[in-house]
Amino acid sequence: MKVIEGVQAALAWCEERRAVGGFDAEVDAAVADIIDQVAERGDDALLELTQRFDGARLDAVEVPAAELLRRAERVPAALAAAIDLAISRVTAFYEAQREHGFETTARGVRLGQIVTPLASVGCYVPGGTAPLFSSLVMTAVPAKVAGVDRIVAATPPDRTGSVPDEVAYVATALGLESVVLAGGAQAIAALALGTRSVQRVDKVVGPGNRYVTAAKRRLFGVVGIEALAGPTETLVLADDSASVRHVIADLLAQAEHDGAQPVLVTTSRELAGAVLAEIEQAAADLPTAATALASLADRGVVVHVADVEEGLAVLNAFAPEHACLLVEDARTVARGIVNAGGIFIGEHSLEALGDYLAGPSHVMPTGGTARFASFVNLRDFQKVIPFLEVDASFVAEVGPSAALLARAEGLEAHARAIESRLQQE
């Protein structure tokens, strides 16, 4: 792991990280070709690309309802109950976020806004070594609470060429319209553009690899997206009250994701030394040891600062996806955080718990975008539409000023449209 000494060096490192960006020209070119293939040949392209990238020969893109149910029934009862608990808790969290717009009326003016759900959403579920079915919970549940009528899931097939059992269970439990067996850029293209079997959607959400991200970047405008997600990251802010065991556990919980960045910012040299001395051995015991050790070696960072205030300065400059506070009086320290995807307050509020069933979606801004972006929430699945209703007296009161503003901008027709109402008086 890289070691950085002092707040100034750490802030400079954060600035360098922000400047790097995530665009890869080679990946973008490959994704452009995939999108063109899906646009031109639809389902045939999806089937060919699935065989090439996932090694699965499929007869159809969409999973039949009977197969979905059969697969869902294979999920062990204990795991099914855990998924049900996650769905229940995430639903309750987003129910509390509901907003219904507002209306104000004063002096002949009625102003307000209405909140309306999107008509359709596609939820991407990453595959790879294992299906991340929890991502379907974390995207489809807020979409459902927001009132989205048509929700489609897309995920790569498993080794047998079918939908993963756990994905089938979540899709069935939530009553999703369909599940599409496609992964990577081709899945995003199908959801955005539509094919014979896949009806296009208004927005695509969910995490994915760099090809998925590149496809979302290219297709934004054709379809809505929630964010351009990068590799996952955790920043643990710890003082000398923190448990070395907990710090290592939280860093490794992030490091076992491919491409992840685990960061420790601490006021304690003793803690930093203990973590550096023990973390590789702890990683070596994991089934995901190769990935975790690569994350630690390539992107792991330990920052030593003088005090918690300096630690907060580094945290806010880094703008982590996950900000984990293993410090005394963590609740007070949390009030100083302005840039983070999510805040995990105190030693029991571990980020790994939030990944599954605490309540908020685990789809959070990465790569420093927490400076301006938010975690997936109801607003990602809704539109806010303002409305205006005024009477003649209001036009008479403000119309001359509005016409003056229009002419100052060289827009005579605007001014005359306003004055046409004034002349009615």
> Cα separation of 50 and 182, whole Å?
6
Indicate if 304 belongs to the active site. Answer: no
> Cα separation of 192 and 405, whole Å?
40
Indicate if 322 belongs to the active site. Answer: yes
> Cα separation of 361 and 42, whole Å?
32
Q: Give buried/exposed letters for 68-86 (b at 16+ CB in 10 A, else e).
A: beebbeebeeeebeebeeb
Residue 21: closest CA among 224, 213, 255: 213
Instruction: Give the strand pairing for 102-106 and 109-117.
Output: antiparallel
Which is catalytic among the residues 62, 233, 257, 322? 322
Q: In a 10 Å sphere around its CB, with 0-12 CB exposed, 13-18 middle and 19+ buried, how is residue 106 labelled? A: exposed
Instruction: Give residues with Cβ within 8 angstroms of 138, minimum separation 6.
Output: 90, 361, 362, 363, 376
Locus of tokens 């330990």: 302
Give the chain's length: 425
Which is catalytic among the residues 233, 321, 347, 351? 321
Catalytic positions, please? Answer: 321-322
